[in-house]
Chain A
Amino acid sequence: MPKINIKKYILVFLITTIIFFTAFAISQTLNDRKINEIRATADKISIDILTLETQFELLQETSSCEKIDGSILTDELNSLADKLSYAESHNEIDSQEVSQLKKYYSLLEIKDFLLIKKFQDKCDIRPIIIVYFYSNKRNCDDCQRQGYVLTSLREQYPQLRVYTFDYDLDSSVIKTIISLYEIGNQLPAIMINDKVYNGFQSIEDIEKKLPSLTQVTHTSTPLSD
Chain B
Amino acid sequence: MLYIFIFVGLYFQIFLLVTLLEKNNRFFEEKLGDKQRKWPTINITVPCFNEENTVTETILSLLNLDYPKDKLSFIVIDDGSTDNTFNVVKKLTEKYSQIKLIKKENGGKHTALNLGLRENNSELVAGLDADSFVDPQALKRMIPYFDDPKIMAVTPAIRIHKPKNIIQFMQKAEYNFGILGRHLMAKIDAIHVTPGPLSIFRKKVFDNLGEYKHAHNTEDMEIAFRMQENGYKIANCSNAFVYTVAPSTIRKLHVQRVRWMSGFLKNCLDYRHLFFKKKYGNMGVFTLPFSFISIFIALYVLGTILYNIGHYIIEKIIKMNTIGFNFSLPHFDWFFVNTESISILALVTIIFTIAFIFIGKKMAEGNIKLSRDIFYFILFYSFISPFWLTKAVYNTITSKVSPWR
Interface residues, chain A, with chain B CB atoms under 8 Å away? 1-4, 8-9, 11-13, 15-16, 19-20, 23-24, 26-28, 30-31, 34, 37, 83, 86, 90-92, 144-145, 148-149, 152, 155, 202-203
User: Complex: how many Å from CA A83 to CA B343?
Assistant: 19
Q: Which of A1, A37, A83, A92 contacts B341 (CB 8 A)?
A: A92
Interface residues of B in 284-330 (CB under 8 A from A): 285-286, 315, 318-319, 322-323, 326, 328
B199 to chain A, nearest CB (A): 19
A2 touches B280 (CB 8 A): yes
Q: Which of B18, B278, B326, B344 contacts A27 (CB 8 A)?
A: B344
Is the CB of B404 closer than 8 A to any CB of chain A?
Answer: no
Interface residues, chain B, with chain A CB atoms under 8 Å away? 7, 10-11, 14-15, 18, 189, 231, 278-283, 285-286, 315, 318-319, 322-323, 326, 328, 335-336, 338-341, 343-345, 348
A154 to chain B, nearest CB (A): 11
A151 to chain B, nearest CB (A): 8
A-B contact pairs, 26 of them (CB 8 A): A1-B231, A2-B189, A2-B281, A4-B285, A9-B15, A12-B11, A12-B15, A16-B11, A19-B10, A20-B7, A20-B345, A23-B345, A23-B348, A27-B341, A28-B341, A30-B339, A31-B339, A37-B335, A86-B335, A86-B336, A92-B341, A145-B318, A145-B322, A148-B318, A148-B322, A149-B322
Question: Of all chain B residues, which has the CB nearest A91?
Answer: B340
Q: Which of B11, B318, B344 contacts A13 (CB 8 A)?
A: B11
**What DSSP secondary structure best describes chain B's contact surface?**
helix
Q: A2-B282, A148-B319 are in contact. List 16 more A-B contacts (CB 8 A).
A: A2-B279, A2-B281, A4-B282, A8-B15, A12-B14, A12-B18, A15-B18, A16-B11, A19-B10, A19-B345, A34-B335, A91-B340, A92-B340, A144-B315, A152-B326, A203-B323
B335 touches A11 (CB 8 A): no
B344 touches A16 (CB 8 A): no
Q: Which residues in A have their C-beta under 8 angstroms from that of B339?
A: 26-27, 30-31, 34, 92
Question: Of all chain A residues, which has the CB nearest B285?
Answer: A4
User: Complex: how many Å from CA A3 to CA B279?
Assistant: 8
User: Complex: how many Å from CA A12 to CA B339?
Assistant: 25
Question: Of all chain A residues, which has the CB nearest B315?
Answer: A144
B345 to chain A, nearest CB (A): 5
Q: Which residues in B have their C-beta under 8 angstroms from that of A152?
A: 323, 326
B336 touches A16 (CB 8 A): no
User: Complex: how many Å from CA A11 to CA B22?
Assistant: 13
B322 touches A1 (CB 8 A): no
A127 to chain B, nearest CB (A): 23
User: Complex: how many Å from CA A211 to CA B65?
Assistant: 84
Q: Which of B280, B328, B345 contacts A155 (CB 8 A)?
A: B328
User: Complex: how many Å from CA A83 to CA B279?
Assistant: 56
Q: Which residues in A have their C-beta under 8 angstroms from that of B18?
A: 8, 11-12, 15
Among B14, B315, B323: residue with most chain A CB under 10 A = B323
Q: Which residues in A have their C-beta under 8 angstroms from that of B7?
A: 16, 20
Q: Which residues in B have their C-beta under 8 angstroms from that of A202?
A: 322
Given contacts A1-B231, A2-B282, A149-B323, contact A16 B341 (CB under 8 A): no
User: Complex: how many Å from CA A196 to CA B345?
Assistant: 47
User: Complex: how many Å from CA A4 to CA B318?
Assistant: 55
B344 touches A23 (CB 8 A): yes
Question: Of all chain A residues, which has the CB nearest B282?
Answer: A4
Question: Of all chain A residues, which has the CB nearest B279?
Answer: A1
Q: Which residues in B have their C-beta under 8 angstroms from that of A3?
A: 281
Q: Which residues in B have their C-beta under 8 angstroms from that of A15?
A: 14, 18
Q: Which of B283, B315, B344 contacts A26 (CB 8 A)?
A: B344
Q: Which residues in B have their C-beta under 8 angstroms from that of A28?
A: 341
User: Complex: how many Å from CA A1 to CA B231?
Assistant: 7
User: Complex: how many Å from CA A202 to CA B279?
Assistant: 69
Given contacts A1-B231, A27-B341, A31-B339, contact A16 B10 (CB under 8 A): yes
User: Complex: how many Å from CA A13 to CA B278?
Assistant: 18
User: Complex: how many Å from CA A155 to CA B341?
Assistant: 33
Which 9 residue pairs spanning A and B have beta carbons closest together?
A: A2-B281, A27-B341, A30-B339, A23-B344, A152-B323, A145-B322, A16-B11, A148-B322, A92-B340
User: Complex: how many Å from CA A4 to CA B281?
Assistant: 6
B348 touches A19 (CB 8 A): yes
User: Complex: how many Å from CA A148 to CA B319?
Assistant: 6
Question: Of all chain B residues, which has the CB nearest A87?
Answer: B335
Q: Which residues in A have their C-beta under 8 angstroms from that of B279?
A: 1-2
User: Complex: how many Å from CA A154 to CA B303?
Assistant: 36
